[in-house]
Structure 1
């Protein structure tokens, strides 16, 4: 995935800062789920902001940014936590 993200173009797709990825790297990312990792941290009002990496058919496709209550993001966190889903 790192190689894909090093060589890609991006397009902003919403006001929260989510963007579409167009990867040039042909190597497939070895993931088992569409969202192999997530970052999360608090906005200044304490509500969680999440950043999800979406991978479709082995290719990084989107980085989704959203606030879990749907309110506008005030400021991105300075400290993030990471979540990597395990097998079900």
Structure 2
């Protein structure tokens, strides 16, 4: 079943919120973030401001997959994650 962009944005927020609150992220979560973001970036219904945040989240995910210290990685991005979630809330 294909998720529409609203469901994709909700899932994206849920994953980011969980990673931030638990200070933990798995490779499969980062890969899921990347798949969601690729789908959303291809969607013309997504606002340009949100696309920039999605690109930043994608970079965060890329770095997270390769991080040797997942907790430190998430801690370094804590304020960014908060801002991204706020952006996602504005457009979902």
TM-score under structure 1 length normalisation: 0.25
Greater RCO, CA 8 A, separation 6+: 2
Specify the structure having the higher radius of gyration (Cα): 1
Of Structure 1 and Structure 2, which has the larger fraction of its residues in helix?
2
Of Structure 1 and Structure 2, which has the larger fraction of its residues in strand?
1
